[in-house]
Structure 1
Amino acid sequence: MKSILYPIKFQPILKDKIWGGKKLKAILNKDSNLPNVGESWEISDVEGDTSIVSNGNLEGQSLKHLLSTYKADLIGEKNYKHFGNKFPLLIKFIDAKEDLSIQLHPNDELAAKRHNSFGKTEMWYVMQADKDSNLIVGFNQKVTPELYLKHLEDKTLTKILNFDKVKEGDTYFIEVGRVHAIGAGVLLAEIQQTSDITYRVYDWDRVDDKGNERELHNDLALDAIGFDMEDDFRVVYDKEMNQSNQMVSCPYFTTSYLKVDSKLKKENTNDSFIIYMCVDGEAEISTQSHSETIVKGETILLPAAIKTYEITSKNATLLEVYV
């Protein structure tokens, strides 16, 4: 017999990165012996990195197993018809102690053809940024493929890139094809399609501890770059207390900003699972049968079968995500 579904937490999958730092451990309390933790994969169905439940009756079971067992009850009817036994989103916290490589992601069509994968549309919410920290998003001028290739060859790519200074709460929508990089000193939450396909075009001439440079993907990247994209990547959103303020809505996910200082009765009318990422404070999420606390740096999945629930907090800031 199937267990009754409840708000589900997963064990974070922590990734050691050449550019990673200590903030995921120090600020978000991630438990790790890795020296440079760059990413915490909170909910993942990427092959080889499947999330494992960490709470309740389903503890120890994989997200893949939940999907094959609960199907539409877990992710919603329309999502199950579209995605089957694949979870559509990859949810992460990222700490960049150093600049990430300059990169971009292919669209669904290219990713399917070349990698048998989804594309990788994503968004960022800045949780903390050191003084003068930047994100690189898009170009600072009109760029042709010829101009791009010349700067790439001359190792002057940064001259044509757009650098934005950022602070807590700044939010960016990164469409496929847009050149981007997370700058040193930035801690952020990332919501994206389930894909680990990245085309790295420049890596600051960095080498690993064996003296090797990381692989670049410039041939693949060239026909994936959106040279004519508009500068519409900065997200402007409301911050009304105790209500969901939509930040980003695209075919792949909808994300809202939710700041809570009371008890909220919530209804799921979207035929989708709902994910809450706690980016500040703490909250209690309660259903008829189950209650779970979520603190800064934690993520929780509400299965689609849960239609009514309550969120109680004195001070929580949550990102609310569904498909």
Structure 2
Amino acid sequence: MRCLRLDQLYPLSFIPLFKEKVWGGRRLESWFTAMPQGPIGEAWVLSAHPHGMTLVENGPLAGKTIAELLVEHGEGLAGSAGRCGDSPTPTECSEFPVLIKLLNSNDDLSVQVHPGPENAVAHPGASAKSEMWIILEADPGAAIIHGLREGVTPQKFHEAARSGDVMDCLNRVEVSAGDVVSIPPGTIHALGAGLLVAEVQQSSDTVYRVWDYDRPGLDGQPRELHIDQALEVTDYSRPPEITRPQMAQANSGITIGSFAGFDVRLSRCCGRWERHPSSRSFTAFLFLGGTGEVAWGEDERTHVSVRPGSSILIPASCPDYVLRSESGNLVFMEVSRAL
């Protein structure tokens, strides 16, 4: 491998941010060595969202945010396919488009929905949100809300939402580890208790709650509902089928879904896997199983160790790099633009 220039981008690892939630728990302690006290519901492992920006952990760019790197490197970070029209400048091309999380639902999440782009523009401060889940751990009988029951009409759901009696309208589905769930904008959804989930989504924190079980928030006050906004954006069509993809062959990946112009792959490294970045798109990794390292530079002497919960961003202008598993398989989710 060629020598890395001092001004060149490289595989970036990130320090996770932890979010205390009324429905959170302590299950993520098995994934992270240092986690704050309290009911932790979310670990934001790769984010440029203003509500939580993860910091680079390794190398000369340590301490920087993705937003700062976009200003400094623009297309070199995001890729040429991220251009807005003819302008690749980050100030004109919006924020970094992807947010990756791990979620632990010790209790049921609120029943909620997110807007699509056509709805978001009508509400100042709102942004579109499409997402995907990979179920990593599930207690026996654990379930999710995934859309509305067949036959539920807009009128029936409107009446139920305004009266606080929505549960009979909801499509409850039991899930198991390995299931993949797509949540397009407009899909009524919620995680049930007893789940650990990897989530990849558009970089949005816009949530319209329909129902929250009349429980108080962490501050002891009732959590706000957004009935009018939720009813405006709800989609009454059947949501995408839940799938359970097979594991990829060694040193390869399979596409398990797509959202908002991005492909999501489930990949497996066994031993050594040489990788070649695309100048058209960044690639984001979330490691889910096994241990190993990402190596690059002259004689592959520069490396960062990875384990379950580690996140890596491969900039579009990154040099060639190598994935190495320490023993057995290194399993990870990867996200890049659909090219």
TMscore range, shorter length: over 0.9
Of stretches 2-11 and 98-107 in structure 1, the one that deviates more from structure 2 is 2-11
The residue matched to 1:29 in structure 2 has which SS? coil
Aligned to 2:306: 294
- How many angstroms does 1:248 deviate by? 0.8
Compared CA separation, residues 249 and 233, structure 1 to 2 (3 A): same
Residue of structure 1 equivalent to 2:290: 281
TM-score (norm 2): 0.89
How far 1:47 moved relative to its partner?
Answer: 1.7
- Percent sequence identity over matched residues? 30
Aligned position for 2:21: 17
Unaligned segments of structure 1, at least 5 residues? none
Q: 1:309: Cα distance to partner?
A: 2.1
1-side partners of 2:43 and 2:183: how far apart?
19
> Matches of residues 102-181 of structure 1 in structure 2 within 5 Å?
102-181=111-190
Is the 1:71–1:80 contact (alpha carbons within 8 Å) kept by the matching residues of 2?
no
AA aligned opposite 1:16: E
Match of 2:75 in 1: 72
Determine the C-alpha separation between the residues in 2 that align with 1:52 and 1:188: 22
In 1, the alpha carbon distance for the partners of 2:155 and 2:263 equals 36
| Partner in structure 1 of residue 8 of structure 2 | 4
**Cross-structure match for 1:203:** 212
3-state SS, counterpart of residue 55 of structure 2: coil
Q: Distance in 2 between matches of 1:318 and 1:24?
A: 17
Other-structure match for 2:276: 267
* C-alpha distance in 2 between matches for 1:270 and 1:110: 32
CA root-mean-square deviation: 1.9
- Verify the 8 A CA contact 2:148 2:238 in the aligned structure 1: no
Question: What CA distance in whole angstroms lies between the structure 2 residues aligned with 1:219 and 1:269?
Answer: 43
**Residue 202 to residue 262, structure 1, CA distance change in 2 (3 Å):** same
Gaps of 5+ in 2: none
Q: What CA distance in whole angstroms lies between the structure 2 residues aligned with 1:51 and 1:63?
A: 8
The DSSP-based 3-state class of the residue aligned with 1:220 is helix
Distance in 2 between residues matched to 1:295 and 1:115, nearest whole Å: 39
Deviations 1:257-303 (A, max 9, x none): 11222211222346111111011112322223532221001111111
Per-residue CA distance 1:193-213 (angstroms, 9 max, x = gap): 010000000001112365421
Q: Do the aligned residues in 2 keep the contact of 1:8 with 1:55 (CA within 8 Å)?
A: yes
Whether the 8 Å CA contact 1:102–1:203 is kept in 2: the answer is yes
Amino acid at match of 2:77: L
User: Is contact 1:193–1:252 with CA below 8 Å preserved after alignment?
Assistant: no
Cα deviation code 1:74-119 (max 9, x no counterpart) = 1101214366251010111111100000000000122233134430
Per-residue deviation at 1:138?
0.6
Superposed CA offset, 1:182-203 (max 9, x none): 1101011100001000000000
Structure 1 30/178 Cα, relative in aligned 2: closer, same or farther at 3 Å?
Answer: farther
SS at match of 1:81: coil
Q: Which residue of 1 aligns with 2:257?
A: 248
Q: Name whichever of 244-253 and 152-161 sits farther off.
A: 152-161
Aligned twin of 1:234: 242
Alpha-carbon shift at residue 32 of structure 1 (Å): 2.6
Is 1:47 aligned to 2:50, yes or no? yes
**Which AA in structure 1 matches 2:50?**
E
CA distance in 2, matches of 1:66, 1:209: 34
TM-score (norm 1): 0.93
What is the identity, as a one-letter code, of the residue corresponding to 2:336? Y
